[in-house]
Amino acid sequence: MVAACLTGWAHSQFGKLDNVDAEVLLADVAQAALDDAGLAPEQIDSIHVGTFNGGFLYQDFPSSLVFNRIPGLRFKPATRYENACATGSAAVHGGLQSIEAGKATHVLVIGFEKMTELATPQVGEVLLKCSYAREEADIPGGFAGVFGTIAQAYFDRYGDQSDALAGIAAKNHRNGSVNPYAHMRRDFGYDFCRNVSEKNPFVAGPLKRTDCSMVSDGAAALVISKADVARTMPKAVGFRAAVQVNDYLPLSRRDPLAFEGGQHAWRQALGVAGVSLKDLSLVETHDCFTIAELIEYEAMGLAKPGQGASLVAEGVTEKNGLLPVNPSGGLKAKGHPVGATGVSMHVMAAMQLTGTAGEMQIPNARLAGVFNMGGAAVANYVSILEAR
């Protein structure tokens, strides 16, 4: 049990935000999260900012940027976090650790990314830095090529999974169509996701465009408070567990289809929380590519290796299934502004657990799992959140 609660949150629109400055973007969600928690900036003890950047923006020292528009935060300790696509969760963990160390009562966590300043090929080059450059930098297709290679290896080992990947894509786009923050609010349907077309070509290996998350801008913010103080606040979502597990960076050092770091993180988190997958009301998981969500079903223990497709066929992970996965639309439809993603996932889960998720709402949601990973299951974070 972690003695901390989410007590305020905010989320920007995700998408191609041409006319929004990154500094404004992060300050707007920060202020909105403070307002949501009912706190003044002066009550925040530390700020934890997650952004991957890696060349998306020239400005690469963002920790104090929020002071420019919220001067009440000036002179607070502020730190930038980076752990590839799990950067947002790294910032969340930094905030939790400040509270657990007794150094803070309330912390502000901000995740943001402005990716669309670059052309798509350049974005691919930046994201490829999340792989092991010495061995993987020349994989064609950038980071999509990395997961295209993983997808092809999965197909070679377990058979063609095109039906399952299309089912995951269709589910997440259907869910994302009712998420007001999503980059892509369109239900494409199974047939469009399943078939190759001019609008849905192959991108890397067996992965089509509908199998790949989009290049997005966006931000999200959280206020995390000591659990005893949170009891006096308007709302609180508790952490039953918050676990980080890292694995080898090179794919050559491990089985790329096992996501073993994710397995360890899920097993530890469920153990700390004292619950099983059957107890969870929903999961927000890291579907940067549909093959990632498929393997994550197996890593979390929902299916045996090579059998994740059966969950798709049986509707287990649909919104009305036994364990809804990505009712927000996931990274696939909601978007994947890298540094914002882990924070966004916690916001989406918190909305579910407070009954404020609107058309995304899972009835009577009480426990939520969040899985955010950096690289191809290198940095793995699992949170178990509960309604208080």
CATH classification of the domain holding 54? 3.40.47.10
Residue 379 lies in a domain: no
For residue 110, give the amino acid letter: I
Q: Which pair of structure tokens corresponds to residue 177?
A: 């169509």
Q: Which pair of structure tokens corresponds to residue 139?
A: 């994989």
Residue 45 lies in a domain: yes
Domain of residue 12, residue span = 4-118+215-230
For residue 358, give the amino acid letter: G
Q: Which pair of structure tokens corresponds to residue 33?
A: 């999260």
Residue 189 lies in a domain: no
Q: In whole angstroms, what is the distance from residue 372 CA to residue 292 CA?
A: 11
If residue 219 lies in a helix (H) or strand (E), which one and from where to where? strand 217-226
Instruction: Map residue 97 onto helix, strand or coil.
Output: helix
Instruction: Report whether pLDDT(62) > 80.
Output: yes
Of 360, 372, 282, 301, give the one whose Cα is nearest residue 331: 372
Instruction: Report whether pLDDT(4) > 90.
Output: yes
Question: What pLDDT score was predicted for residue 159?
Answer: 98
Of 134, 373, 88, give the one whose Cα is nearest residue 251: 134
Query: Residues 68-97: what's their mean pLDDT?
Result: 98
Residue 19 lies in a domain: yes
Question: What pLDDT score was predicted for residue 130?
Answer: 93
For residue 55, give the amino acid letter: G
Least confident segment among 129-133, 139-143, 144-148, 288-292: 139-143
Question: What pLDDT score was predicted for residue 38?
Answer: 98
Number of domains in the chain: 1
Average pLDDT for the chain: 97
Q: In whole angstroms, what is the distance from residue 327 CA to residue 335 CA?
A: 13
Query: Residues 327-335: what's their mean pLDDT?
Result: 98
Instruction: Report whether pLDDT(343) > 90.
Output: yes
**Alpha helices, DSSP H, located in the chain:** 22-37, 87-100, 120-127, 133-136, 142-158, 162-176, 190-194, 227-230, 260-273, 290-299, 308-314, 330-334, 338-353
Q: List, for residues 37-47, the tens digit of each pLDDT value.
A: 999 999 999 99
Of 54, 55, 110, 100, give the one whose Cα is nearest residue 80: 110
Query: Residues 314-335: what's their mean pLDDT?
Result: 98
Question: What pLDDT score was predicted for residue 334?
Answer: 98
Question: What pLDDT score was predicted for residue 141?
Answer: 85
Q: In whole angstroms, what is the distance from residue 342 CA to residue 271 CA?
A: 21
Residue 64 lies in a domain: yes
Residue 150 lies in a domain: no
Residue 331 lies in a domain: no
Residue 35 lies in a domain: yes
Q: In whole angstroms, what is the distance from residue 357 CA to residue 282 CA?
A: 12
Instruction: Report whether pLDDT(1) > 80.
Output: no
CB 30 within 8 A of CB 66: yes
Percent of the chain with pLDDT over 70: 100
Question: What pLDDT score was predicted for residue 2?
Answer: 86
Question: What pLDDT score was predicted for residue 142?
Answer: 84
Q: In whole angstroms, what is the distance from residue 17 CA to residue 378 CA?
A: 29
Q: In whole angstroms, what is the distance from residue 204 CA to residue 142 CA?
A: 9
Q: List, for residues 176-215, the tens digit of each pLDDT value.
A: 999 999 999 999 999 999 999 999 999 999 999 999 999 9
